[in-house]
């Protein structure tokens, strides 16, 4: 600890030369929760026992690494391990297919809060907050590529009821945990090739959403968000719930909007969208992912895109309106390691942004001192950021440096290898 604290103090002094309050940055970071997605733990399989399909609906996990969670108990065990390796206090993000269905299978339009009581009890015990998502994929009634915008009224009503029940579950989670549960809606609706009646499908989606949101809940317990997409597997030509569609609907109906960093064209800047749309929205939800050539949900790393997103989040000074979650699934590597790499990368990105001398640079910009602005941007790249991160980990009882890697390796030997 002494060496970590010593190097921290040296680094802190260097940052202070640029007008950065390091202690304030660490205090702020500790207040930013990241919602850890449950579906990395079992490759988006869920725990339904009947009438479900393996993936589908634009969802695909690749790989078959050992140790996949096979039930709720194993997934909770894995999440506890993950959270122990991440500094700070964080959340867990559930999908509807992860309920307790071991005793009796129920269809998705029949799910109830009782199917998630074990998760709520677990969250209370571990002092964790929960978020929730309806599951509109991996199901026979999603086979034709349409759910909420389906022209088959029976199918559309089925999925409307599923989401209405998901909202009820989310509200109950929020009530029991005394914290707002973020309820995020993503649907796979779209077509593989040329689509004639785009307007018709979108009118149906509007009607479905209007019916879903006709029931009101207290903001204290649930906030609804809509997640758009550029394209998906089987919806390359047309996505009903596009970014523009949901942006418009969210503004009109005072809802949150979810930006998934893998759901846009590779040349689009997701970070640049924040300041453009946040002033008009109730709030933003981020699903931090990493697309490689397409929306491939690779494990999040600290790349340029993540850095820009986290910088813009901090620059906007609106953390009360922004909710951060992870969304990726890699079955080709140790799943616990995948979790921790992505979560720590996101937190590192946020800390780097909090340590960035925005005020100094903004001052140069407003005075037209663009040479000085560019010079400081380059000088800041040399600051010893890693010393600040290691100190933050140490004071939050999380492993520093490469120590966490050894813990994951030991967990694989003692736990994951015993899962057949």
Task: Give the catalytic positions in this structure.
Answer: 186, 227, 229, 260, 263, 287, 295, 297, 327
Helix (H) or strand (E) holding 24: helix 22-30
Q: What pairs with residue 185 in β-bridges? A: 226
Tokens representing residue 245 in the block: 């569609």
d(CA 85, CA 2): 21
The answer to whether 207 touches 170, Cβ cutoff 8 Å, is no
- Cβ-in-10-Å burial (0-12, 13-18, 19+) of 28 comes to middle
Helix (H) or strand (E) holding 271: helix 270-277
d(CA 182, CA 171): 9
CA angle in degrees (0–180, nearest 5) for 167-168-173: 95
Using DSSP's 3-state secondary structure scheme, residue 185 falls into strand
d(CA 123, CA 295): 31
Residues in the chain, total: 420
Q: What are phi and psi of 215, to 5 degrees?
A: -90, 130
User: Taking Cα atoms as reference points, which of 266, 387, 254 lies closest to residue 321?
Assistant: 254
């Amino acid at each position: 600890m002494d060496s970590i604290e010593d190097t921290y103090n040296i680094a802190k002094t260097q940052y202070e030369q640029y007008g950065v309050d390091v202690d304030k940055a660490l205090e702020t970071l500790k207040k930013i929760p990241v919602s850890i997605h449950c579906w990395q733990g079992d490759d988006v399989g869920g725990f339904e026992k009947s009438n479900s399909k393996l993936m589908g609906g634009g969802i695909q996990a690749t790989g078959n690494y050992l140790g996949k969670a096979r039930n709720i108990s194993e997934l909770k065990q894995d999440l506890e391990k993950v959270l122990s390796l991440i500094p700070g206090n964080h959340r867990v993000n559930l999908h509807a297919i992860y309920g307790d269905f071991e005793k009796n299978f129920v269809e998705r339009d029949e799910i109830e809060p009782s199917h998630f009581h074990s998760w709520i009890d677990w969250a209370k015990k571990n002092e964790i907050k929960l978020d929730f998502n309806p599951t509109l994929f991996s199901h026979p009634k999603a086979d034709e590529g349409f759910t909420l915008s389906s022209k088959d009224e029976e199918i559309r009503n089925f999925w409307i009821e599923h989401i209405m029940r998901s909202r009820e579950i989310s509200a109950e989670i929020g009530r029991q945990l005394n914290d707002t549960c973020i309820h995020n809606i993503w649907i796979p609706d779209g077509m593989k090739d040329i689509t004639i009646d785009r307007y018709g499908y979108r009118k149906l989606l509007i009607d479905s959403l209007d019916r879903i949101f006709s029931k009101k809940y207290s903001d204290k317990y649930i906030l609804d968000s809509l997640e758009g997409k550029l394209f998906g597997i089987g919806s390359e030509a047309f996505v009903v719930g596009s970014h523009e569609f949901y942006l418009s609907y969210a503004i009109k109906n005072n809802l949150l909007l979810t930006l998934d960093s893998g759901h846009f064209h590779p040349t689009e800047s997701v970070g640049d969208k924040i300041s453009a749309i946040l002033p008009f929205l109730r709030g933003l939800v981020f699903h931090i992912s990493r697309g490689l050539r397409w929306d491939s949900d690779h494990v999040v790393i600290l790349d340029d895109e993540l850095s820009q997103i986290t910088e813009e989040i901090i620059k906007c000074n609106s953390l009360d309106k922004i909710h951060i979650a992870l969304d990726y699934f890699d079955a080709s590597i140790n799943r616990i390691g995948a979790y921790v790499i992505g979560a720590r990368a996101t937190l590192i990105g946020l800390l780097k942004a909090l340590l960035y001398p925005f005020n100094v640079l903004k001052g140069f910009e407003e005075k037209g001192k663009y040479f000085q602005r560019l010079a400081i941007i380059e000088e800041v790249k040399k600051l010893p950021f890693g010393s600040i991160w290691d100190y933050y980990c140490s004071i939050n009882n999380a492993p520093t440096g490469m120590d966490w890697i050894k813990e994951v390796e030991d967990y694989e030997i003692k736990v994951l290898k015993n899962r057949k």
